[in-house]
Amino acid sequence: MRRTVHQILSRTALLVCGVSMILGAACKRRETTGKAAESTPSAVAGKLNVGFVYVSSASDGGWSFAHDQGRRYLEQSLPYVHTATIERVAEGAEAEAALRSLSRKGFDLLIAASFGFMDATATVAGEFPKTKFLHIAGYKYNDKNFGNAFGAMESMKYLAGVIAGARAKADGRKKLGYIAPFAIPEVVRLINATAIGMRQSCPDCTMELRFLNAWFDPGREQEAAESLLQAGADVVITGADTSGPVAVAGKHDRWAIGYDSAKACEVDRAHCLTSTYWNWGVLYTQIARQVHEGTWKPTAYYGDVDSGLLGLLGFEEGETPLPGVPAEIIPTIKEKLLLFRKGSLTRFEIFSGPLRDNHGQIVIPDGKRLSQSDLEGLPGCSVCMSWLAEGIVGELPKK
């Protein structure tokens, strides 16, 4: 994901949970072994060979799972494409080794699906100028063979906040909880977008935060959910990788909103309101086709909802909202999602003034809106994403 170097703690920790996570049992941390794979996959002659490097298992149910769904979509969409993966790759030297070995095997396009792979991707891209590289979420790229990509998940988090606020208002328990990985701009803008949406449907609702200092830690995610529910939250919204918080909310007969994957609600559809998720296959198919045709130009790509990169479970074409979604809010969500899909509503309208922080101070004046640099906390930002929106209880952790 997109972050500046001094803001990042990497996704190097992997966990083993299996069924215990779904049942709500605590999971213990297991560090990466330092072995990306026993052997490097081979390219297939006559195909466009696309290699994927994951920081965790493709079956993690969250971040890497969503990327692997995108890989499968790509292979099914373009018959001339062959794909292969290397999973559970440690960030740093091991990522370099994995990317280098795939390059040597003759892969045409390599997709590095973790922020922590950014420097490794930049290094190997310089060594193999004929190979194309796409790094997910970072900010480095060149004008030859190395691009990056991410998307405006804040747009979907805003809609999730509208749904959560409506649910809390209907229940008369006007408090939400948000499980946040790190206090960095990428995460903070998603928190703020959720709170802005919450106040659209429930102006007197509040939202309490729990920071994990981890991207993928099922045990701590479940503990955070328990803590928020004990504090009175009616809806728990997760910004981390697993569906553990959904299962915990269900055990308490409360509500939850999942993240990363369209499968996040499967552990308890009766208590899950929706999941905001990634459709990586749309992007991967577009880029692979361009590479095949010789038209791909490396850029810093950032897709909004109209790109097809983002999804909202229960509100996509042919889907029915999950039973916990209040009926009265469904038309509003459908209408706003349609506007997002048309491109007439964007992330910038969400962060348009007047907006106040959680101390009552105007951070975005009337008639103004945040820039992309502001949203990402990039150098040159003027209203950098280091504040919390109105309705959020608490403060950002000190660095």
Average pLDDT on 43-47 reads 97
**Res. 122: pLDDT tops 90:** yes
**Res. 98: pLDDT tops 60:** yes
Average pLDDT on 232-241 reads 95
Name residue 377's amino acid: G
φ and ψ at residue 77, rounded to 5 degrees: -80, -35
Residue written as tokens 């995610």? 221
- What distances in angstroms separate CA 83 from CA 155, 234, 262, 284, 363, one per listed residue? 30, 43, 22, 11, 46
C-alpha dihedral sign at 374, 378, 381, 387: positive
Average pLDDT on 339-352 reads 96
Domains in the chain with CATH codes: 32-151+279-310 (3.40.50.2300), 153-277+314-393 (3.40.50.2300)
The confidence score (pLDDT) of residue 222 equals 97
How high is the mean pLDDT of the chain?
Answer: 90
Question: Could you tell me if 329 and 163 are in contact, meaning their C-beta atoms sit under 8 angstroms apart?
Answer: yes
**Res. 313: pLDDT tops 70:** yes
User: Which residues, at least 6 apart from 164, have a Cβ–Cβ distance to it below 8 Å?
Assistant: 176, 194, 197, 198, 235, 237, 255, 257, 273
Residue written as tokens 């469904």? 330
- What distances in angstroms separate CA 209 from CA 124, 206, 279, 388, one per listed residue? 39, 10, 27, 11
Residue 372 has which token pair?
Answer: 């992309």
Supply the DSSP symbol for 24. Answer: T
**Res. 56: pLDDT tops 90:** no
Q: List, for residues 67-86, the tens digit of each pLDDT value.
A: 999 999 999 999 999 999 99
Average pLDDT on 300-320 reads 96
Residue written as tokens 């309705």? 391
Largest CA distance in the chain: 62
**Res. 37: pLDDT tops 50:** no
Average pLDDT on 153-166 reads 98
Q: List, for residues 349-363, the tens digit of each pLDDT value.
A: 999 999 999 999 999
Q: How confident is the model at residue 106 (pLDDT cuts 50, 70, 90)?
A: very high
pTM across the whole model: 0.86
Question: Could you tell me if 263 and 64 are in contact, meaning their C-beta atoms sit under 8 angstroms apart?
Answer: no
The confidence score (pLDDT) of residue 399 equals 66
**Res. 193: pLDDT tops 80:** yes
Average pLDDT on 385-395 reads 96
Average pLDDT on 316-335 reads 97
Query: Taking phi first (over 0 means left), then psi (-120 to 50 degrees means alpha), and beta for anything else, what does residue 377 get?
Result: left
